[in-house]
Structures are given as structure tokens and as C-alpha cells.
Amino acid sequence: MGVIRSYRDLRVWQLGMDLAADAYRVTKPWPKDEVYGLTGQIRRAAASIPANIAEGFGREASGSFAQFLRIAQGSLKEFETHLLLAVRVDLMDGRTADEILTKSDDLGRMLGSLIRKVTASPASPSREKVFVERPTTNDRRPTLDEASLR
């Protein structure tokens, strides 16, 4: 865990990029008649996730950042829905979808955690105080505020 200086340092953005790359990889062999159907929908929704995280990070206010994180969260749910539909219409197998949905669930939890952190922070937080790795029961690291009290 470290100081966040760019949206590229955000773990949620990195995972969003991984998910978008997965979307392109799994839809590549799909029929060409789906290019403007589910292929395009899945790719656009997936690409929208890290794009909104980056755009929100570039805004000056934490409220704007939180709003763009919420939009990314909505795109994530749209992506998941299109993926599940692709399984139902036999464009992709369930095992592949499950692997991607597991990553998607992790990203969704991280986005939710970051939204809570950003909305709970002061009106003009320093970018250096925004951390994205969430503590787990097995890996509890102090937040920046906790660490400064020591």
C-alpha cells in the first residue's frame, strides 16, 4: 500500500483494466453478427469501468470522484448482466463466465469500499490520503490516519 499519485496507482483501476482486457479476449472469437450486439455491449461496459475511475480521479472534488466511482459500479453491473446473457444464449461457457464474474465481484467490493472512503473524507482531501486496498480479516493494515497517530 502506498501513496496514490495517479489513477494508474489505484488498484480498482488496474483491476478494471484487467476486466476490460478479459472482455475483449473472450468476445474476440464470437460471431461477427454480434459485433453490434452483445460483443459491443460487453466491451463498452467493461471499458467504461476503468475510464470512469480515471475520469473521476481527475476531478478536483471528492464528491465528483465518488459520483464517477458510482457510475463505474453501474457499468460493472451492466457488464455482469451482459456476460450472464451471453451464457444463456450460448456465446460463452459458464466456467469462463464464472471466472470473470469472480473478478467482477472483487472489483465491485473494492469500488464500494473506495466510495465509502471518498465520501467519508473531508471536503478537500489530499490525493495522498486516498488508499484503495481494503483490509481483510487476515490482512489488517493501518489506514493513513491510524498510522499518523503512532
What average pLDDT does the segment 31-49 reach?
95
Q: What is the C-alpha to C-alpha distance for residues 95 and 124, in angstroms, rounded to an integer?
A: 44
Q: Are 4 and 130 in contact (CB under 8 A)?
A: yes
Q: 3-state class of 140 per DSSP?
A: coil
Q: What is the C-alpha to C-alpha distance for residues 70 and 63, in angstroms, rounded to an integer?
A: 11
Determine, yes or no, domain membership for 131.
yes
Spatial CB neighbours of 112, under 8 Å, sequence gap ≥ 6: 73
Q: Which of 20, 8, 1 is nearest to 103 (CA)?
A: 20
Determine, yes or no, domain membership for 80.
yes
Residue 139 scores a pLDDT above 60: no
CATH of the domain at 129: 1.20.1440.60
What average pLDDT does the segment 120-124 reach?
63
Determine, yes or no, domain membership for 129.
yes
Determine, yes or no, domain membership for 105.
yes
Q: What would the DSSP string read from start to end of 15-82?
A: HHHHHHHHHHHHHTTS-GGGTTTHHHHHHHHHHHHHHHHHHHHTSSSHHHHHHHHHHHHHHHHHHHHH
Determine, yes or no, domain membership for 1.
no
Domain limits for position 136: 7-148
Determine, yes or no, domain membership for 2.
no
Domains in the chain, number: 1
Per 3-state DSSP, the chain is made up of helix, strand and coil in percentages (nearest 5) of 70, 0, 30
Looking at every residue in the chain, the average pLDDT score rounds to 85
Determine, yes or no, domain membership for 102.
yes
Residue with cell 489530499: 126
**pLDDT confidence band for 61 (50 / 70 / 90):** confident
Determine, yes or no, domain membership for 134.
yes
